[in-house]
Amino acid sequence: MSQIDLDPNSDVPLYKQLAESVRTLVDRGAIERGERLPATRELAGLLGLNRTTVSAAYAMLEQSGLLEGHVGRGSFIAKSDRPLALTSLAARSIDWEHLLPPLESLSVPARKISISFASSCPAGEAFPLAEFRRLSKEVIDSPEAAQILQLGSPHGYPPLRRYLLENALAAGMVLPGDDLIVTNGCQQALDLIARLFFNGNGRGVVIEDPVYRGVVRVFARAGATVLSVPLDESGIDLNALQELIHQHRPRLLVVTPSFQNPTGATLPLERRKRLVDLAQRHGLVLVENDICSELRYEGKSLPTLKQLDESGSTILLRSYSKISFPGLRVGWAIAPRPVIARMAEAKQTSDLHSDQLSQAVLLRFAESGELARHLDLTRRVGAERLSSILRCCARYLPAGSRFTRPEGGMSLWVDLPAPFTAETLLSRVEQRGVDFLPGNFFSVQRSHPRALRLSFGGLSPDQISRGMQILGEAAASEPAAALEPVAASV
Amino acid sequence: MSQIDLDPNSDVPLYKQLAESVRTLVDRGAIERGERLPATRELAGLLGLNRTTVSAAYAMLEQSGLLEGHVGRGSFIAKSDRPLALTSLAARSIDWEHLLPPLESLSVPARKISISFASSCPAGEAFPLAEFRRLSKEVIDSPEAAQILQLGSPHGYPPLRRYLLENALAAGMVLPGDDLIVTNGCQQALDLIARLFFNGNGRGVVIEDPVYRGVVRVFARAGATVLSVPLDESGIDLNALQELIHQHRPRLLVVTPSFQNPTGATLPLERRKRLVDLAQRHGLVLVENDICSELRYEGKSLPTLKQLDESGSTILLRSYSKISFPGLRVGWAIAPRPVIARMAEAKQTSDLHSDQLSQAVLLRFAESGELARHLDLTRRVGAERLSSILRCCARYLPAGSRFTRPEGGMSLWVDLPAPFTAETLLSRVEQRGVDFLPGNFFSVQRSHPRALRLSFGGLSPDQISRGMQILGEAAASEPAAALEPVAASV
């Protein structure tokens, strides 16, 4: 077994590497058919592996028919390969592909990407790791640790919930009779709301088009009729919305007033007021996705719909994910108590409650002032990145391109002139290590073949500049290929 | 404002206490109508409070109409109480109670309970806090911390997923073509499965009766037709199951083969084999809820259904919650890849992915051997508690009572003789600081008016003994009241 050479840094688990190595050695004849393999403990010692890893590899080989275990005697390479289909697959009585709904095929980039305009997450190196470490340890050493480890409430970890409520109240985001629930990020809040208001009843929800896929999916899954309104740089088109309201009497509107994903569009104050008024007059529930409004790099901050809405028709969704650590899943919703009570009931049935360790750590992060300090830094860094990408858009995009000019957030939206399409441009730049998400990835009912989203939040000005230059060169070199018609992919 | 006295240990948030104190002082005339209150910063200093707390209290008082803010001049007690309904409630255009599904009223114990047989969680003082602290800090200080804080995969934190797969493979719980997904505890796995297999299509799911409510709810919400089979001390009745299969062709069976909640029942090996065979022959998917099998205090451990099932019809659900820290929400499911792929897709739409900090901490806890050490201790402690409650059942329960004799887990099930009912017994013992969950709390289609669940996992032998004595005394003193007929409450 001395020829076995495993790579602990590989993505392939060690047990699989080991099993494959054994199979290769058998195929090459380096291990003979019928030969006895060392005991798991012995081989683990020889290779410097955990015994569990060796056991797992042996189990895998046994299941595949290459290895045979004999109680008290050890494990032997089978004299001949067992016909696998007969022993383990013939007994399979369930045709899963037939039984289950079809799987949406997700396009996975095959190429190595070094500058990605596709990810709308902060860059890992910008995390305030030292502060996270210090404050997490404070939480872990605190007397509350035992409480954190015990079963919690579907409404959230009580000290965090209290803190969030007090802050929202002080900011004028809480009406009398409002309440708050902690969720696993904003996505779970949308899921709970979708279940509450639709649950297969076919009523309508209005969403923005384009919008990020999680919104479309969560309402489609809940059985809502998904309607959509177009956006311009100042957010959703209120005349189109009014038309939809008259025609379909939808129950809910999901809207991102600040730095919308993917367009970066922001509703000005007047449109916010008109929207709140419209919702109020028609009994339309507003779901305000407000996870990015604190990432404003320039211009004046605007009140949330929740602050403008005195009628209590707005459900406000916020989250720590985009402004601190995306891997810790903590968001929250503020809404009238009857809504929150039912969201809590739905949450209990979904997963009992959100993880308490992360809730406690993020509470400490916010209370200590470190979150505010981190936000300041993020805004300074974000401002540089924003001005860099705006500069590069003007310089490198083909003549006739249009792009949004957000004052914050993570992304902007580009419309290429005909005959360019985002898909052909993407296939070109991928070859040079650059990617982005084409507009049709965000389509609801309209097709956006010439559009693309450029996310700049996780890239340095230098990366932005190099990436945009490659994008510009690819566009300049490929007008002919781009002429081919491309069908909308969503 | 010197009369204000707040209690930082109260459940009532400080801002609410402060707002209520101000209102009381106004009512008593200690603060006059029209009087100016100190600025928030000033009052915060005076009372040793956070300024946010004072701002929140002022905002609350302002919304309730007691306080009026005048820009540049400060906050004044209103000359007279504003008619609240006119200003903030009349604008409310949405009747939430009418719009939303009814809320299930949950019975909240009003009394102070000192010995609770109602909670099936480990006692907090049994947590290995020192080890948790040490290992969490290792994780936090590790170079992986940055990765943990970044957006993760819907399948789970890769190193944990790898670890769980290798261990399951070594234990013979993985078939070729199986895969694994990390979920927020076992409850979320059930939710994802319910959405996948039902989603409003009305097909049947078979569950145990009695069973804990989370199972009933999750499948009812998904629009499944909920069917149930009765249990005896050896688990579900396979003849009744066979009958159901012939009549209804259900799609799924959810079963807890070891230490079922609430009965503590365990399926013997022969019944497990028959069940797997039955499922295989009828194309029934088995969902094996296996969160407690490692809490075996006596007797021989039994193979899981997953280990017995070579046909790949079983979805195995496990979790760290019951065997380590319930507040960290980490469970997992092992099943054929087409099932796991769709669960991951559904999970992404539900909440993107599970919290990564807890996943990393529990991985370290397991890898380091501390989980195994903790389990050993839990089993020793559990064995004492089990024998204590069995002894007390024999000694204190009224003559004619029957109770299950589990060999592990957290709970056992008692059937009182007529004319006793669990509800009347509960109302008696609550007065003396003892509670439990009555059998009907776990009802699916059958009524269990004389049954109760006694959870002993979080109680010391001394608490068990005192609690059971009170239960026995209450039963002895109340045969007359118990004669009243009590309708099944579920």
Contact B350 A129 (CB under 8 A): no
Q: Is residue B315 in some structural domain?
A: yes
Q: Cis link prior to A13 (omega < 30° from 0)?
A: no
* Same domain flag for B155 and B274: yes
d(CA A2, CA A466): 47
Region B303-319 average pLDDT: 96
Neighbours of B273 (CB within 10 A): 15
Phi first, then psi: give them for residue A74, nearest 5 degrees: 120, -165
Pairing of strands A178-183, A331-336: antiparallel
Q: Is residue A99 in some structural domain?
A: no
Q: Which secondary-structure segment (H or E) carries A232?
A: strand A225-232
d(CA A41, CA A61): 17
| Single residue among B299, B333, B368 that ends a domain in this structure | B368
pLDDT in tens, B132-143: 999 999 999 999
Contact A196 B336 (CB under 8 A): no
CB-based burial label for B13 (10 Å; 0-12, 13-18, 19+): buried
For residues B381 and B66, the model is more confident at B381
For residues A455 and B203, the model is more confident at A455
Q: Is residue B265 in some structural domain?
A: yes
| Tally of domains within chain B | 3
Neighbours of B90 (CB within 10 A): 12
Contacts with A, B 400-459, CB within 8 Å: none
DSSP calls for A320-335 = STTTS-TTS--EEEEE
Q: Is residue B467 in some structural domain?
A: yes
* Same domain flag for A361 and A268: yes
Distances A453 to A236, A295, A433 between C-alpha atoms, Å: 17, 18, 17
Contact B355 A328 (CB under 8 A): yes
A84, A119, A339 ranked by CB distance to B96: nearest: A339
* Same domain flag for B247 and B359: yes
**Per-residue pLDDT at B90:** 40
pLDDT in tens, B345-391: 999 999 999 999 999 999 999 999 999 999 999 999 999 999 999 99
CB contacts of B150 in chain A (<8 Å) are 121, 124, 325-327
* Same domain flag for B443 and B312: no
Tokens of A197: 């208001």
Contact B101 A199 (CB under 8 A): yes
| CATH for B214 | 3.40.640.10
* Same domain flag for A387 and A343: no
* Same domain flag for B308 and B255: yes
**Per-residue pLDDT at A1:** 67
Contact A94 B311 (CB under 8 A): yes
Pairing of strands B434-435, B115-116: parallel
Q: Are B465 and B388 in contact (CB under 8 A)?
A: yes
Cα angle, residue B148 at apex, residues B147 and B153 outer, rounded to 5°: 90
Cite the DSSP H helix spans in B96-128: 96-99
* Same domain flag for B360 and B401: no
* Same domain flag for B119 and B75: no
Q: CA gyration radius for chain A? A: 27
Q: Is the pLDDT of residue B486 over 60?
A: no
pTM score, whole prediction: 0.83
- Amino acid identity of A139? V
Pairing of strands A331-336, A314-319: antiparallel
Q: Is the pLDDT of residue B280 over 60?
A: yes
Residues of chain A predicted below pLDDT 50: 83-90, 480-490
CB contact B7 to A (< 8 Å): no
| CATH for A121 | 3.90.1150.10
Contacts with B, A 154-213, CB within 8 Å: 158, 162, 165-167, 169-170, 172, 174-176, 183-185, 187-188, 191, 195-197, 199-200
Q: Note down the domain range covering A425.
A: 115-126+372-482
d(CA B420, CA B449): 9
**Sign, Cα dihedral of B400, B406, B407, B408:** negative
| CATH for A56 | 1.10.10.10
Beta-carbon contacts of residue A147 (< 8 Å; ≥ 6 apart): B124, B327
* Same domain flag for A350 and A386: no
Q: Is residue A308 in some structural domain?
A: yes
**Per-residue pLDDT at A478:** 59
Dihedral (C-alpha) A128, A130, A136, A138: value to the nearest 10 degrees?
-130
Q: Is residue A459 in some structural domain?
A: yes
Longest dimension (CA), chain A: 82
CB contacts of B336 in chain A (<8 Å) are 94, 96
CB contacts of B357 in chain A (<8 Å) are 136, 327-328, 355, 357-358, 361
d(CA A334, CA A413): 30
DSSP calls for A5-21 = ---TTSSS-HHHHHHHH
| Single residue among A349, A368, A387 that ends a domain in this structure | A368
Mean pLDDT of chain B: 89
Q: Is residue B8 in some structural domain?
A: no
**Per-residue pLDDT at A71:** 61
**Per-residue pLDDT at A481:** 47
CB contact B214 to A (< 8 Å): yes
d(CA A157, CA A151): 10
**Sign, Cα dihedral of A11, A14, A18, A23:** negative
Tokens of B163: 């670890």
Phi first, then psi: give them for residue B391, nearest 5 degrees: -60, -45
Orientation angle between helical segments A14-27 and A51-63, nearest 10 degrees: 50
Size of interface A-B (CB pairs under 8 A): 306
Share of chain B above pLDDT 90, in %: 69
User: What 3-state DSSP class applies to B487?
Assistant: coil
Q: Are B410 and B381 in contact (CB under 8 A)?
A: no
What is the band of B105 on the pLDDT scale with cuts at 50, 70, 90? low
What is the band of B259 on the pLDDT scale with cuts at 50, 70, 90? very high
Q: Are A436 and A410 in contact (CB under 8 A)?
A: no
For residues B274 and B7, the model is more confident at B274
CB contact A129 to B (< 8 Å): yes
Q: Which residue of A has its CA nearest to B198?
A: A100
* Same domain flag for A187 and A282: yes
CB contacts of B212 in chain A (<8 Å) are none
Centroid of chain to Cα A261: 12
Orientation angle between helical segments B337-351 and B185-197, nearest 10 degrees: 110
For residues B269 and B77, the model is more confident at B269
Q: Which residue of B has its CA nearest to A286?
A: B94
* Same domain flag for A314 and A377: no
Beta-carbon contacts of residue A145 (< 8 Å; ≥ 6 apart): A139, B129, B132, B133
d(CA B366, CA A52): 13
Q: Is residue B101 in some structural domain?
A: no
Strand partners, A451: A415
Up-side HSE of residue A457: CA atoms within 13 Å toward CB? 30
* Same domain flag for B398 and B360: no
What is the band of B82 on the pLDDT scale with cuts at 50, 70, 90? low
**Per-residue pLDDT at A484:** 47
d(CA A153, CA A182): 10
SS3 content of chain B, % helix, strand, coil (to 5): 45, 15, 40
Cite the DSSP H helix spans in B284-369: 305-308, 337-351, 356-367
